[in-house]
Amino acid sequence: MPQTFDIETADYSRFSFKREGKVLTAAITSDHPVNGVDGLMHDELAHIFTDLQRDTDSDIIVLTAIGRAFCAGGDFDWFDEQVADPSKFREIAWDAKRIVSSLLEMEKPILCRLNGAAAGLGASIALLCDIIVADEKAVIGDPHVKVGLVAGDGGALIWPQLVGYARAKEMLMTGDILSATEAKDMGLINHVVPTDELDAKVQEIIDKLQGNPRWAVRWTKTVTNIPLRALAAQVMDAAIGWESVSNFHEDRKEAVAAMREKRKPKLTGE
């Protein structure tokens, strides 16, 4: 008999799950006000996409969040720990690569229901999904540089593929944040709708996917992702490596302190 797996029985504290037929919604569920990434969430992100693929009774995955944000990047308490002890950053390097690779390796279609702000790693996760439907009030960007880090955990990989290198480098090097409408106009996300139409738009896309043969849909996604998987294999070691190096710098420490204190950083170039 084939072995079955139900993700709802797995030990996740930063995600909740809801099943409707063959559609499984995985929602980021955190007590952080903007669903910031802490050590536990990062650890769960490194496993959840593999488990979603393994989940026996789902064909389509919807990734969303509970609360007013989707995932607004790293938690500042976690940043402080990494600055104080850089070995804590080194320890998450393998998981950081696995988050990206496991998302790209999923065969099941994964829709991002972007219900609010997505920044840093949160933006990378959203953009690595197959179809992104955003609330018109949502914003998205990768402000790694604002906290003194290289955009290594997926941003430097996926942004150029979606909007081209010129736009991607501007956005990644400035750390600017885009409105959902700006992101759609740039080609970064697929659809933007009013808040009260978000679920209906997601369901419309689900209905279209379910109207096609399952394996044709899955494997079309799989072959389309082959170049992205190859590119990830080429760049992610260096991307995470340079991000780890940037965590050692004095300007990283000052950038985090300034963001926490809501002031302009006093950067020295070191």
Is there a domain that residue 268 lies in?
A: no
- The pLDDT of residue 236 is 97
The answer to whether position 52 is within a domain reads yes
**What was the pLDDT predicted at 3?**
84
Q: What is the pTM of this model?
A: 0.96
* Number of structural domains the chain divides into: 1
For residue range 140-175, list pLDDT tens digits in order.
Answer: 999 999 999 999 999 999 999 999 999 999 999 999
Domain containing residue 93: 7-261
Q: Compute the average pLDDT of residues 14-31.
A: 96
Q: Give a yes or no: residue 2 inside a domain.
A: no
Residue at 171 is within a domain: yes
DSSP 8: G
The answer to whether residue 1 sits within a structural domain is no
What CATH number did the domain enclosing 213 receive?
A: 3.90.226.10
**pLDDT at position 49, please?**
98
Amino acid of residue 11: D
The string of pLDDT tens digits covering residues 26-55 is 999 988 999 999 999 999 999 999 999 999
In a domain, 56, yes or no: yes
pLDDT band at 2 (very low <50, low <70, confident <90, very high): low
Structural domain includes residue 267: no
Domain assignment of residue 50, yes or no: yes
d(CA 138, CA 136): 6
Q: Which residues touch 57 (CB under 8 Å, ≥6 apart)? A: 6, 19, 22, 24
Condensed to tens digits (0 to 9), the pLDDT of residues 252-269 reads 999 999 998 999 999 999
pLDDT value at residue 212: 98
